[in-house]
Structure 1
Amino acid sequence: MGIVITAFERSPDGGKGLARDTRVRWALEEAGLPYEVRPVSFRAMKEPAHLALHPFGQIPTYEEGDLALFETGAIVFHIAQHHAGLLPDDAGARARAITWIFAALNTVEPVILELVTARILERDKPWTAERLPLVEDRIRDRLTQLAARLGDADWLDGSFSAGDLMMVSVLLRLRPSGLLDEFPSLAAYVARGETRPAYRRAFAAQWAVNAAPPVGG
């Protein structure tokens, strides 16, 4: 059995590459691995068959033989560990690349998701007008730190790695807010990630699913 991942039958972002399955697709494309995608509806995500793969009823999941994984970071880490192209051979550089995977998910993404929550899920709440500037300032603090670390380098630690893949994917969530444009070096960093052929293939695959007419439509 080859690699099978799950993805939204219809992505909430309309196929703009923000759904987390794009990160897994990108990693698989960087590693040159063939894979199949099983689309899952929002209803099916909460049914027993999918909950057996992902106990929280989300996507993506990853299946390869008897192995079943959930959580994007764990899936990308697994792919990077077992296939060339996403982690350096040098032990120290490899450890640093893994550190950047965790930094993207644990240090940078949470505050960005706060902004998504405030702007979309809490936009009608009375406290939103006061909360938004605070959240935006916390994001700016993180981006200032990240930009200082990146400097004028192309990637976070030498060559492109799974750490960059995850960080670029996280930062892409900021584009609609305009905050990323306040940090030209980080905007250019994200753009470099988007120009990689593997990312383009992953994005095109995700876009094609959402651009197609609904089944029966």
Structure 2
Amino acid sequence: MTITITAFERSPDRGRGLARDMRVRWALEEAGQPYEVRLVSFKTMKEPAHLALHPFGQIPTYEEGDLTLFESGAIVLHIAERHAGLLPADANARARAVTWMFAALNTVEPPIFERSLATILERDEPWYEQRLRALGDSIRKRLDSLSARLGDADWLDGAFSAGDLLMVTVLLRAQASGLLEEYPNLAAYVARGEARPAYQRAFAAQLAVFTAAAAG
């Protein structure tokens, strides 16, 4: 059965690999699974056909036969559970990898994403600088703990897993703030993720969409 995912027709990340379909593309590349992409506009995302796939009108979605999924973390977990390469065989190690998936999305990402939104939506507000400082402090608390836990290891828990895949995509968004530069081991960790061939293929595919849209 053909796997089809949705992605932005014109991504607001301007081809930097930050849109959440990147996580799904990367997971499918790591798993060696072919897939097709249906590009959607912001208008299309709010229409009934897309809302039937994603009730919140966002991307990505995942379709395979009679299965439809939304939420990038849930999609990556589905891929990891059904194909080799993203979760360890050992039950305990597998559970730890899933824990890191949740940690990436529920603990580390929220203040990083909030800060990126603030730089867009609150730049002209009188509280903007104070807001950035507060969010920066929240991000540093998370990165302090993550950096200490990672130490000098290559990956979070032994071999590369879906936990690392999601964590790297989360940390990529922190690069624009400059905060990641304060943690050399985390910056090196992200660079290792970006160097993986599967990541490179996924990034090239997503960038090609932006390039084509910009040319058009």
| Alignment TM class, shorter chain as reference | over 0.9
In the TM superposition, residue 113 of structure 1 has moved relative to its aligned partner by 1.1
Q: Distance in 2 between matches of 1:162 and 1:62?
A: 17
Q: How many residues align?
A: 216
1:65 aligns with 2:65: yes
Aligned partner of 2:7: which letter?
A
Same amino acid, percent of matched pairs: 75
Q: Provide the residue aligned with 2:206 in structure 1.
A: 206
| 1:1-12 matched pairs, under 5 angstroms | 1-12=1-12
1:131 aligns with 2:143: no
Q: Distance in 1 between matches of 2:146 and 2:129?
A: 27
1:37 aligns with 2:37: yes
Q: Distance in 1 between matches of 2:43 and 2:172?
A: 27
Deviant stretches of 4+, over 4 Å: none
Q: Distance in 2 between matches of 1:101 and 1:163?
A: 4
Q: Distance in 2 between matches of 1:119 and 1:182?
A: 20
Summarize deviations over 1:112-169 as a string: whole Å, max 9, x none. Answer: 0121122111111111121111110111111010000001000000000000000000
Q: Distance in 1 between matches of 2:165 and 2:206?
A: 16
Aligned partner of 1:95: which letter?
A
| 1:1-217 matched pairs, under 5 angstroms | 1-213=1-213, 217=216
Q: Distance in 1 between matches of 2:180 and 2:96?
A: 24
Q: Distance in 1 between matches of 2:56 and 2:103?
A: 23
In the TM superposition, residue 13 of structure 1 has moved relative to its aligned partner by 0.8
Q: Distance in 2 between matches of 1:179 and 1:126?
A: 23
Name structure 2 gaps, 5 residues minimum: none
Name structure 1 gaps, 5 residues minimum: none
SS of the residue 2:57 aligns to: coil
SS of the residue 2:97 aligns to: helix
SS of the residue 1:6 aligns to: strand
Q: Distance in 2 between matches of 1:89 and 1:82?
A: 12
Q: Quick check: 2:9–2:213 contact (8 Å CA) kept in 1?
A: no
SS of the residue 1:56 aligns to: coil
Structure 1 residues 161 and 209, CA gap change in structure 2 (3 angstroms): same
TM-score, normalising length from structure 1? 0.98
Summarize deviations over 1:159-200 as a string: whole Å, max 9, x none. Answer: 000000000000000111111001000000000000000000
In the TM superposition, residue 110 of structure 1 has moved relative to its aligned partner by 0.3
RMSD of equivalent CA atoms: 1.0
In the TM superposition, residue 206 of structure 1 has moved relative to its aligned partner by 0.1
Q: Distance in 1 between matches of 2:31 and 2:156?
A: 19
In the TM superposition, residue 213 of structure 1 has moved relative to its aligned partner by 4.5
In the TM superposition, residue 214 of structure 1 has moved relative to its aligned partner by 5.5
TM-score, normalising length from structure 2? 0.98
SS of the residue 2:172 aligns to: helix
